[in-house]
Amino acid sequence: MASLLCQKTMTLTLVSTFLVALFGVLYCEAELERFEHGAKPDGSLSFLVIGDWGRRGDYNQSDVALQMGIIGEKLDIDFIISTGDNFYDKGLTGVDDPAFHESFSDVYTAPSLQKQWYIVLGNHDYRGNVEAQLSPILTEKDSRWLCLRNFILNAGPEMAEFIFVDTTPFVDKYFTDPEDQVYDWRGISPRKHYLKNVLEEVESALRESTAKWKIVVGHHTIKSASTHGNTYELNVHLLPILEAYGVDLYINGHDHCLEHISSNSSPIQFLTSGGGSKAWRGDINWWNPQEMKFYYDGQGFMSVQMTQTELDVIFYDVFGNVLHKWSTSKQLFSVM
Ligand SMILES: [Zn+2]
């Protein structure tokens, strides 16, 4: 009897040890990786945002890159953000795909663009070998390359917190109606569990953030008047979290245009920078003019300059002309 009890206790201990270990593993998996990027000596920070670009220089990709180099020099940028769809039409075939050099390293050659790139994946990247774009082998080939599914960047380090979100797995139609496309879903299965984890981690990062500015970057739109329009799944699952924790900017690509939509229901600014190469001229749907601050259906890119108290957004066309400027400010200390 005593030995039976002892056996039971041992089994329970083993089970609980196993559960603790399993929980530990799951917990570790859920944590988003964090990176830090210092501000300039004067405390300011500036960066460019480009999206939907990799076409071996074609469709004016090289012209946009040239102007990014010039503006990047002028603003003394600290880094570059890519909002995804990094390689058309089907991502990369593998880590040795020549498109990596032909569409990235050999295109963004200006001295000012030799900075860290923080990169998310787009739906076209999922049509190729996703693991290749996430591989550190690409960073060995070009040290600027940093692409992860979901991650956090503390810049300043307390000035701005950027949360990069992998939005493609949120979109139902890629699973239910893939339109003859094959998507590389390795690493996100089971999908429900993956999405739940992402949302929990985004929420926890925003809740704990003490940064002055909170910025979320994803490939898909939340609000857009262009071809793809609003992404329903992000409006349902992600937007309420961004609203609850006072996110300042949501930055995306996917619609091949430049766009700035503000919201009547929250202070979030919705910024689309998806004009890195092929643009969709003429595609615009009606939007409330009170919210639509700017829409341009050609190629171009965006810059952001910030201090602890000021934030300036500028959109540029393929010739480097300034198309739209928007500024906001915050008090250094919040009023009690
Ligand atoms: Zn896209």
What pLDDT digit, counting tens, does each position of 186-215 carry? Answer: 999 999 999 999 999 999 999 999 999 999
Range list of H helices, the chain: 2-30, 61-75, 99-100, 130-134, 136-141, 173-176, 191-208, 232-237, 239-244
What is the reported pLDDT for 29?
Answer: 52
Q: Per residue in 299-312, pLDDT tens?
A: 999 999 999 999 99
Residue 5: strand, helix, or coil: helix
Confidence of residue 7 (pLDDT cuts 50, 70, 90): low
The span from the CA of 249 to the CA of 168, in Å, is 19
Confidence of residue 264 (pLDDT cuts 50, 70, 90): confident
Confidence of residue 265 (pLDDT cuts 50, 70, 90): confident
What is the reported pLDDT for 85?
Answer: 98
Distance 123 CA to ligand 1 centre (A): 5
Binding residues: 52, 85, 88, 123, 219, 254, 256
Residue 325: strand, helix, or coil: strand
Supply the CATH classification number for the domain 29-329. 3.60.21.10
Binding residues for Fe cation: 52, 85, 88, 123, 219, 254, 256
User: Does residue 28 have a pLDDT over 50?
Assistant: no
Can you list the positions of beta strands (E) in the chain? Answer: 33-38, 45-50, 79-82, 116-119, 145-147, 151-156, 160-165, 213-218, 249-252, 258-261, 269-273, 292-296, 300-306, 310-317, 322-329
Distance 221 CA to ligand 1 centre (A): 9
Distance 182 CA to ligand 1 centre (A): 15
What integer is the mean pLDDT of 280-299?
Answer: 92
Average pLDDT, the chain: 92
**Which pTM was predicted?**
0.90
Pairing state between β 160-165 and 145-147: unpaired
Enumerate the β-bridge partners of residue 272. Answer: 252, 259
The span from the CA of 283 to the CA of 275, in Å, is 13
The span from the CA of 198 to the CA of 291, in Å, is 29
Q: Higher pLDDT residue, 117 or 28?
A: 117
- Residue whose token pair is 């829409």: 295
Domain ranges of the chain: 29-329
What integer is the mean pLDDT of 149-171?
Answer: 96
- Residue 97: asked if its preceding bond is cis (omega within 30°), the reply is no
* Catalytic annotation, residues: 228
Distance 331 CA to ligand 1 centre (A): 36
What integer is the mean pLDDT of 41-68?
Answer: 97
Contact 52, 254 (CB under 8 A): yes
